[in-house]
Amino acid sequence: MKITVAGTGYVGLSLAVLLAQRHEVIALDIIKEKVDKINAKISPLKDEMISRYLKEKDLHLYATLDKSEAYSDRDLIIIATPTNYDTSKDHFDTSSVEEAIERSLEYGKDTPIVIKSTIPVGYTDKVKERYKKDDIIFSPEFLREGKALYDNLYPSRIVVGAKTKVAEVFSKILKEAALNDPKVLLTEAKEAEAIKLFANTYLALRISYFNELDTYAELKGLDTKAIIDGVGLDERIGSHYNNPSFGYGGYCLPKDTKQLLANFSDVPSEIIGAVVRANHTRKDHIAKMIVDKGPKVVGVYRLVMKADSDNFRSSAIFGVMERIKAQGIKIVIFEPTLQDESFEGYEVINDLRTFKDRSDIIIANRYKDELDDVRDRVYTRDIYRRD
């Protein structure tokens, strides 16, 4: 098949690489640097498996900025453009998806479209009606940042929001590319959209639960790890997604929980709203614990969401920083991926020794061994020292 993937974030690029093993794939983006890197077999994202596949595998993959080239004469178009949450509208910003649909209709009116971007419940039916096109379907992704290609090669499940021939074909090509034997679920569009939002909100709920367990243990002088270990021995609960943090963040969880809450506007509920509020409460608690120690300078060790990541977006650390700064305390940052001497008004110190010497207290969402020599000045809730 001749397939176009619009968008080269983690979802789009991992899909492009996955499918290019068997199919002719064009990856479309609006950033020339990313396109040039992909064509040079260099990943623009930090994902070890994507990097390895681009370098070592015989992929039928080409990246372009040209919409006409990308959308013309294709068998399938996959849209994986970003849909950030617009807090003023309580809604995902789906303009990039609509732009991609419109361009695809301009250059390839009869080409089936699969939306992989995260969208509100009911969105697919609305765009099908708006553009008078029945073969637009939604298929949610369930990927981890930094392990996106791995999660496409070993998917937990394949969900496609349609019960049509296009849906059957798309689920088949995903399953053929998988190295395991995932279950396939074909649903209606609204159910598939809801699956995505409820799945991510459950993960946010689980993170918030263990964070609140940790807050309780910290304030009551208990051993957080001992409690979590004991709770996790129950096989119904398990030991995954249980490492305390400064809150949930990243590409998906903050926006997906807010969108689901907005979808609940006329539905009786308590839990969904509590998940969103719990993330704010956790950041309030972390900031208070730091402020109460009376530091003049707080050092922030890494802005990235987790180890081996290059993503700052919606990182929970920012909420903590804002709360500390509001108390008149100076903040300095150690973040090797930043080249400038400042970032969003905060001083950046990229010499680790200088950073340690300048900081009265160092906060670390995720702890690394290079902090061992100043461990007595480090505040972290990273109980297991893993993501």
Phi, psi of 6, deg, nearest 5: -90, 115
79, 101 in Cβ contact below 8 A?
Answer: yes
Spell out the residues 6+ positions from residue 223 whose beta carbon is closer than 8 angstroms to its own.
Answer: 217
116 secondary structure, DSSP code? -
CA-wise closest residue to 25 among 52, 50, 4: 4
Residue 252 known to be catalytic: yes
Question: Catalytic: which of 5, 78, 159, 252?
Answer: 252
Distance CA 195, CA 180 (A): 21
CA-wise closest residue to 90 among 316, 264, 270, 252: 264
List the alpha helices (DSSP H) in the chain.
Answer: 10-19, 32-39, 48-56, 67-71, 95-107, 123-130, 148-153, 165-177, 189-220, 224-232, 253-263, 271-291, 316-325, 352-358
- Please state the length of the chain: 387
Q: How far is CA 115 from CA 36, 65, 97, 334, 386, in A?
A: 25, 19, 8, 38, 32
Catalytic residues: 252
